[in-house]
Structure formats: structure tokens, C-alpha cells
Structure 1
Amino acid sequence: MILEIDMGNTRLKWRILNQRLVLAQGAMGIEAPLDLLLDRIESYRTALSSVTVVSVVGDLLEQKLADWSIEYLKLQPVFVRSGAICGPVRNGYSEPQMLGVDRWLGIVAAYRVSAGACIVVSCGTAITLDLVAQDGKHLGGFIAPGLNLMLDSLTSRTRQIKLDGVIPELGLSPAVATSGAVYSACGAMLTGLIDNGMKQLHRLDQNTGFQMIFTGGDAARLLSFYPQALVVPDLVLDGLACVLDYPQRLE
């Protein structure tokens, strides 16, 4: 059994994989005590053979996780980094290691799902959008503030903008109330980014067919604009399976 861990900016996602079967999975705050994770995986602990990790949080939290894994699981975790190539997928960066590893794994997994050209949209703390050509070449991407960062920047940097407590469904139409105006603007900005990505993929790959793949906590908020998109919640963890070449469930 394998314990897979995705250390993101705000959340730590995990799952236990046995061959192609996900036995357990969950999420917690990235700063939460790792004892919480230990409690949730206790029944599988002695059966674990490896711990694989994708991380964007830096050395301090990575070392904390490594120490925890060695002490409590008796396993040295493997931290996956971005590479130049994985099967047919080729990293578009001139310095491949500089591409965020979460983006790299998402690209690898998305190409495995689509078996062709695709747009990969990760809707988390940041919004990232990556373009992949029909032959698997990464054509580059975009990074922008995520929805909550957009909202936080307005409420923290202005004096008069106050928002409702619950984020409604995003729209595009002009609004006659402050909250609605903000949420519609966010919708317009996000769809503008994605529409530009679609335009650029057509230009760069000269291919009319591609799959849109969404992942991340806010992915569902964009589905009303792009109902053709496929939502893959564990895209980064699926990419771990591809890169490490152990039995996976993307076939």
C-alpha cells in the first residue's frame, strides 16, 4: 500500500492506494498537526510500503513531514520534483525544475486522461492554466490569483467594499449590488483567462479538438461556464502515480 500526500498552499490532501484501488482519502489544513493524519491512517499503517509526496510548501514543512514519516511510519518519504519528460509528455520550461511540481503532475495526469491536446485548469489558492499539445508537448501556461485571493484583496485593500458571507454562483452580468458586482467581475476575469487559454491553444497547436480538465477546490464554480469540462478532483495525486510508474487507475 502507498500513502500519497499532496502538500498544497492551504490544504494537505492524502489517499491510500492499493494497486488501482483507493482505500481511504481525506484532507486537512496544511498547518494542522500531523497526528490528525496518523489517526486517519492508523488501520493501514503497518501495511504501508511507501510514502510519496508532492509539495509546494518549502523546506520547513517538508522536513516536518519527513521527520514524522520516519518516526511514526518507519518510511523515508519520496518527494517528487518536476522533470523534463514523462512518457509522451514534455515539459515546456527551458529549466524543467522551475515548473511547479503540482502543475507538472497535473499536466502529466491530464494528458493521460485526454490522450491528446488539453487545457488543465487548477482552481485553488492560485488559478493555474496549462496548455498541452496533441503530441504531449507542454506549451506553457498562466498563473493568476484564485477566487479567494481576489476577494481578499478587495476586502483588505478597500474601505467600503463589504461582501456577503457565502460566495454565490459566479455570474457575468452587471450587478446592482456591491457583492454581486464583485462576484460577476471575478467570473468575468476567470472566464477571460480560460477563454484566452483556449484561443492560444488553437493558435499554438493548430488543433481544433482538445479536452478541458478542471481540478481544485473552486473547479465546480466554473462548470456553469464550461459544462464540457471534466472535473478530476485528485489530478495531482493521479500524476504522482504516473510519474512514479506504479500501478495506477488512469488506464
Structure 2
Amino acid sequence: MDTKIRPKVLFFDVNETLLDLTKMKQQVGDALGGNQDLLPLWFTTMLQYSLVVSASGRYEPFGHIGAAALQMVAANNNIIISEEEARKVILSGLRGLPAHPEVKEALTQLKQAGFTLVSLTNSSNEGVKKQFESAGLTEYFDERLSIEDVGKFKPFTDTYNWAANKLNVKPEECMLIAAHGWDVAGALWAGWRAAFVSRPGQQIFPLAPKTEIEESDLKAIANILTTYK
């Protein structure tokens, strides 16, 4: 396939790709007794158990899984956090995140170039609606998709297939733009194209197919995509 051909739909991951998690990570660190070193463990535990839930044929909101992961990491470090407290930390943190500095300019550039922009997130429908309202991103997107409607978290292949079907496009006509190696890998294995935003601390999964675009921020990716025909 000619990689210079425009994708019909650009799908965007939300958390960390579009939204800056710094403020939320500080809140989580405070809940863990100020131990910032535990933040990566909390995040990977949240992702691990989102996959456990989906692999078991179940669904729980992403924020609830994040809260449960917070309780687990806390307990392993002799910190007791109630379910109510944990959910308050995670949900308030997720829903008040700012966009990364270059995001609005990049989205404007892509929209003016005629791309269809769709968000595809593990967050709930209500959660992403509030996130976009808080960050001022609502106007940039043609549609918002949440895995809540399919009941399986990314990176399950079924989830990418569902998203492509929702937009009535073939997998090879889709491009995922994300800052997580696992998300990019899942999209590529589902037959999508992908662009990786190499936010600090994020890496491409070496065993996945080669990613078409890899840049340090969304504006650099937009600059490349607007050269496609």
C-alpha cells in the first residue's frame, strides 16, 4: 500500500496522546503518600486489569479500573485507600486534564486539510465528553467513540474493527494516532495504519509491525499527514 495515500479517517487516542496527564499523576502520587515512583506501576496495573476484564468477557468503566489499581498499588505499600476515595482521585483527575500545548494547532491544521477526525478512547462516553469540554477539544472532532459501546478495551482487535465499522471504512483506510506502544501495536495488527506520538516515557513495541509515522508531538505528525494525497 502506498503510505502517501491519505487515510479516510484519523482516529485519536485521548489520554496522554491529546491530554496531558501531569496533573493527574500528581494527584495519584499524593494519594500514594507522595511516592511519585509508584506512578508507572499504577498505570501499568490499570492497563493490565483492563485487559483482564475484557479477556474475561466483562466490562467495567476505565475510571473504576484505575481506582481499583490505585487501591492495589496502595495496599502493597501499606497505604489504605477506600473505593470511594480512589474513585474520587481517578475520576476527578481524568476529567480535568488540559490538552498538550500543540494539540489544538495540529487538530486545526488537519481539520482544515479535510481529514475526518474521530476520538477512540478507553474512557467512558460520559468521561470523554467531560474531558473534551474541560480541555476545549469538542469542536475539533467529527465523532467521539468510546469502547464502552463495544465492551472491550483497546487493544482487542474486535474494538478496532468495531470503530472502523462505525465510520463505514475498511481497516486499511483507518489510521490510529496514539502515544502508547500497545495501542499502536493493536491497531497495526488489526490492519490499520498508525502514527506514534513519542511522548516522554513512551516507546513503540519492538515486536509490532513497523509504524508508518513516529514523531515527538502531534504538530509534527500533522505536518507529515497534510503532505499526503
Same fold (TM over 0.5): no
**Which protein is richer in helix relative to its size?**
2
Determine which structure has more spread, i.e. the larger CA radius of gyration. 1
Q: TM-score, normalised by structure 1?
A: 0.30
Q: TM-score, normalised by structure 2?
A: 0.32
